[in-house]
Amino acid sequence: MPDVTLVQAIDLALGRALADDPTVVLLGEDIGTDGGVFRATDGLLARYGAERVLDTPLAEAGIAGVSIGLAAQGFRPVAEIQFMAFAYACLDQMINHAARLRTRTQGRLTCPIVLRMPCGGGIHAPEHHSESGEACFTNVPGLRVVIPSSPARAYGLLLAAIRDPDPVLFLEPARLYRSQREAVEDTGIALPLDRCIVLREGADIALVGWGGVVPDMLAAARVLADQGTEAEVIDVATLVPLDADTILASVAKTGRCVVCHEAALTGGFGAEIAARLAGPGLLSLLAPVERVTGYDTVLPLPRLEEAHRPSVARILAAAHRALAHG
């Protein structure tokens, strides 16, 4: 069982999907000959040919539109958008067509497409290349939003997304592409969608987040453990549909919660989690829900990028504020 990076796990899952299902096709800018801007499709053109791995023009709306057409005709397209900020050109296609096709046709057609793309900061890229715009898509009924945070989870969740009958936005934290290695066996076994993943058990406080902040939450939990506080760490993994039950159960046990994400504070998906906790979880809370997020500014690249992102220090400060109550 080889140790692979997250981007290699993506490549592994895509290869498995192509091998297992002849209706799976890949399309995107530079994914064929060049193997993708981050090499997530490296070697797949040579193995499966230009009819299964298609290089496209620089036209994100066209990529999304062609994918929807392919899906309506029985294919399972997996489209790569080079960077998340470029996905805003796909909003019309994803909101008005992909997410509505099942309802519009009263179930006669589904739209099994995956729109995958890197997201978040940490790679010191220029403007438009470090966006965390997941909240733009979480408000779209009919669209799943999935964000893995490790190689094994990337492999299993991507296979599940490809096999899902409805459209999935699959976000890949760019800072995690090559930052860690993990044993991943190419078994073809998918992980379940729509479930949070409890990475660390704890009884004192819940740290909840997704994507690129998950390693920071785990690091903060280790510091808290040295201080005598046991933090439960929850990787949300699928933002929509949200597995609120797992988060509510954790807060019922711990009484405190810190929600972390790279996106801006205002309108971020962390606000939705806080709102869910303010309803059925209200009587369990011993302290206000804390949020550790990006700031309400355009990402200040490159020198202030790390100051903008949630950090271990900021997560610890929020945890200490929550622990100071009660």
Choosing from 129, 261, 320, 325, the catalytic residue is 129
What's the rounded Cα separation, in Å, for the pair 94 and 101? 10
Burial code (b: 16+ CB inside 10 Å, e: under 16) for 2-41 equals: eebbbbbbbbbbbbbbbeeeeebbbbbbebbeebbbbbbb
CATH architecture observed for domain 197-323:
3-Layer(aba) Sandwich (3.40)
Is residue 124 scored above 90 in pLDDT?
no
pLDDT score of 302: 76
What's the rounded Cα separation, in Å, for the pair 85 and 104? 28
Q: What are phi and psi of 18, to 5 degrees?
A: -65, -40
Q: Record the pTM.
A: 0.96
What's the rounded Cα separation, in Å, for the pair 170 and 147? 6
CA count, 13 A, side-chain hemisphere, 91: 13
Domains 3-183 and 197-323 share a fold: yes
pLDDT score of 191: 98
Residue from 288, 283, 290 nearest 258 by CA? 290
pLDDT tier for residue 144 given thresholds of 50, 70 and 90: very high
What's the rounded Cα separation, in Å, for the pair 149 and 155? 10
Is residue 35 scored above 80 in pLDDT?
yes
Q: What is the mean pLDDT of residues 300-313?
A: 87
pLDDT score of 126: 74
Token pair, residue 286, equals 């011993």
The residue among 137 and 123 whose pLDDT is bigger is 137
pLDDT tier for residue 249 given thresholds of 50, 70 and 90: very high
Is residue 326 scored above 80 in pLDDT?
no
Contact residues for 111 (Cβ-Cβ < 8 A; gap 6+): 68, 71, 72, 97, 98, 99, 101, 102, 166, 167
205-209 and 3-4 strand pairing: unpaired
Percent of residues, the chain, with pLDDT higher than 90: 91
Q: What's the chain's average pLDDT?
A: 96
The predicted-structure confidence for 160-194, as pLDDT tens digits, reads as follows 999 999 999 999 999 999 999 999 999 999 999 99
Q: Is 129 a catalytic residue?
A: yes
Place of tokens 């660390």: 200
Could you tell me the residue ranges of all domains in the chain?
3-183, 197-323
Q: What is the mean pLDDT of residues 5-27?
A: 98
CATH of 3-183, one of 1.10.3720.10, 3.40.50.970, 3.30.565.10, 3.40.50.300: 3.40.50.970
pLDDT score of 125: 79
